[in-house]
Structure 1
Amino acid sequence: MYQPIVWNKDHIRILDQTKLPHQEVYIECRDLETVADAIRRLAIRGAPALGVVAALAMVLASQRSSCKNREEFFRELNHNSAYILMTRPTAVNMKWALQRLTDTLRKTDTGDVNHLKELLEQEALAIFQDDIEANRQISAYGQELVPDRATIVTICNTGSLATAGYGTAFGVMRAAHEAGKKILVVSCETRPLLQGCRLTAWELQKNNIPFVLITDSMAGYYMKKKGADLVIIGADRIAANGDTANKIGSYGLAILAHHHHIPFYVAAPVSTIDCDTCQGDDIPIEERSPDEVTCIGNQKIAPNGARVWNPAFDVVPYCFIAGIITEKGILRPPYTESIKKQCGNVRPRTMVN
């Protein structure tokens, strides 16, 4: 089975998702800059995966560090954290992972820089392993919501490619399939970069899960003509009121599900919950290059000079969400209460200087 992220002590081995589904090519990232470039150009993507890779990137940076004392070490760690955070502003998992690293190291009183480097690597690897375990728990809770012979609609990619392993929304479908349920996954292609077409379809084939691929604009008509039992998406950031930022197209899918009386679920680890963000309107939404819309691959498809708006994400209002599936259980409305209760177990987001 494929491993999207592999730690090899002095480098991170990343499966380049821009090459899928036709080529399985790995990138060896040996420094912070190479990791940042991989994140920017979406060679690695998916909020949980970004948290893991950001943590491991701090280890790579520390291996090259010439810091002499504790103060210099933390100053450099904060600088490197700020640098990697600038690559993708919407997904909160990177900020969560980097804060967890800082918190763990701050709890020690050692001034030995080599010891700090060892602790940094230990905590980064713990974040890696914790994400895999969280995925498994999310999937176990979520698959209980899936009836036998269910048709499940999803968008973008939330599988092993988007996490440290197994998947979130994809993991729910995978766990239902592994439990012997006869499911059919309807994968929206996910314009403009076609993650549902290139990545989710590839992972569904790898896991022998039956699926149908549709364009994003076909979702409503599919629901009307063929029906669906539930919609499950992932998340890049969940606000304190339950509003959820996810891949562009998620908002429209939620409206369609609501109109057709189909329950709409979000599957994400608690590290995706940002209790410091009150509502969806406060979530920063990344806007990407116009070329992603005007071109498919290297082929220009739009006329020269066409104006483009290309937000990478939109926000699903909490009122459309039937439940948020986490590794701690399924959060239910009212989310201001269920999330507030859960946030007692979520680390603060404010970066330590």
Structure 2
Amino acid sequence: MHSQVHAIDWQQQHLRLLDQRQLPHQQHYIDCYNAQDVADAIRDMVVRGAPAIGIAAAYGYALEALHGGDLQHAYQVLAESRPTAVNLFWALDRMVALNHSSHAELVAEARRIHSEDIAANQTMAQFGASLLGEGSHVYTHCNTGALATGGHGTALGVIRSAWQDGKLAQVFAGETRPWLQGARLTCWELMQEQIPVTLVCDGAAAHVMKQQQQQGQGIDWIIVGADRIAANGDVANKIGTYSLAVLAKHHGAKLMVVAPSSSFDLSIANGDDIVIEQRPATEVTELHGSAIAPSGCDAANPSFDVTPAELITAIVCEKGIIPAPSTEVIASLLSR
């Protein structure tokens, strides 16, 4: 099954990005002509999801070369756009390694990064789907589908492939505040392909898990993506993932993290060293520009949290399945 969604589209002389802030009501595209345009799109959430951010950044760097711009400045503005997603830096480093190449070769490298991501998504989706039993009930968070990647998806790719394999009974999608990626994007993607999905308020996750358990249809797996994975298997992902991991342990659900090998950062020993992006307070205190909190109210708005490796049943990447993640097991698999 191939996704019907194309969020990143190379147009020979510019990059076209599906504006994910407008979904699900409008399918509007934004054209980018240089690195600054792409950096702005990443920072402003036009494009989001760690793999998609890396792909977009690679294209942004290639655009700067294509139009004779300053590549050192291009790297700087793109690197500063989102600090937590390691895929961003991985992709930029691949591009920088070709600095002495022609702009055509840089464009070709960006396109390779894009196509490699789609292939990796397909592979890890099959690995992940193999862990699910027949009639599985799964819960997912944020958006990890074709919108967040080069295509098909990471965690949502597993769900998409499991549905194709006839293993899936029901998907529950957390709304994912404050940007509501689960409500706006994940439900939209799944509904495009008639995959049964129920939207869940973030604060109702524990209740839904308990209720499903009482009905004999408990959540079998919580399946999420990752923006950065430390050497020991601690995972930084969209805020709210850690809460779901704790709930999973209490309710007997397993936790699967699905991410490409480019999401691993072996230079970081554990999750305590992962930089957590702090988003503007207005994303919490306002809704579409209108205040929903008292004037002057402070707000905590971390974009990510860190789930300890001991709460994770398995990490899945395109190189294979990592059960009970640890420093040794991760290093062994990634060295293949």
Asked if these proteins are the same fold (TM beyond 0.5), I'd say yes
* Range of TM-score over shorter length: over 0.9
Listed one character per residue, the Cα deviations across residues 13-60 of structure 1 (whole Å, up to 9, x for unaligned) are 110000001000011111111111111110100000011000010111
1:313 aligns with 2:313: no
Which residue pairs with 2:215 in the alignment? none
Distance in 1 (CA, whole Å) between partners of 2:75 and 2:92 is 7
Which residue pairs with 1:92 in the alignment? 86
Segments of 5+ residues of structure 1 without an aligned counterpart are: 67-75, 346-353
Listed one character per residue, the Cα deviations across residues 88-143 of structure 1 (whole Å, up to 9, x for unaligned) are 0000001001112223x27xxxx6xxx52222111111100000000000101011
1:129 aligns with 2:115: yes
Give the alignment partner of residue 207 of structure 2, picking from 218, 221, 225: 221
Listed one character per residue, the Cα deviations across residues 209-254 of structure 1 (whole Å, up to 9, x for unaligned) are 0011011111111111112011000000000000000000000000
1:43 aligns with 2:46: yes
Once the two structures are TM-superposed, the CA of residue 291 in structure 1 deviates from its matched residue by: 0.9
Once the two structures are superposed, the pairs formed by residues 227-246 of structure 1 within 5 Å of their partners are 227-246=218-237
1:65 aligns with 2:56: no
Secondary structure at the aligned position of 2:59 is classed as helix
Secondary structure at the aligned position of 1:199 is classed as helix
Amino acid at match of 2:209: M
Once the two structures are TM-superposed, the CA of residue 334 in structure 1 deviates from its matched residue by: 4.4
Secondary structure at the aligned position of 2:102 is classed as helix
1:303 aligns with 2:294: yes
Segments of 5+ residues of structure 2 without an aligned counterpart are: 213-217
Amino acid at match of 2:161: A
- TM-score, normalised via structure 1 length: 0.90
Which residue pairs with 2:10 in the alignment? 7
Once the two structures are superposed, the pairs formed by residues 164-203 of structure 1 within 5 Å of their partners are 164-203=150-189
Once the two structures are TM-superposed, the CA of residue 298 in structure 1 deviates from its matched residue by: 2.6
Secondary structure at the aligned position of 1:224 is classed as helix
Equivalent residues of 2:127, 2:321 under 8 A apart: yes
Kindly, what percent of the aligned residue pairs are identical?
A: 46
Which residue pairs with 1:284 in the alignment? 275
Distance in 2 (CA, whole Å) between partners of 1:265 and 1:187 is 15
Distance in 2 (CA, whole Å) between partners of 1:97 and 1:204 is 28
Distance in 2 (CA, whole Å) between partners of 1:312 and 1:26 is 24
Between the two proteins, the alignment pairs up a number of residues equal to 328
1:18 aligns with 2:21: yes
Secondary structure at the aligned position of 1:174 is classed as helix
Distance in 1 (CA, whole Å) between partners of 2:190 and 2:53 is 22
Once the two structures are TM-superposed, the CA of residue 290 in structure 1 deviates from its matched residue by: 0.7
Give the alignment partner of residue 142 of structure 1, picking from 128, 136, 151: 128
Distance in 2 (CA, whole Å) between partners of 1:144 and 1:334 is 18
Amino acid at match of 2:211: K
Which residue pairs with 1:73 in the alignment? none
Equivalent residues of 1:16, 1:44 under 8 A apart: yes
- TM-score, normalised via structure 2 length: 0.95
Equivalent residues of 1:153, 1:187 under 8 A apart: yes
Distance in 2 (CA, whole Å) between partners of 1:257 and 1:189 is 17
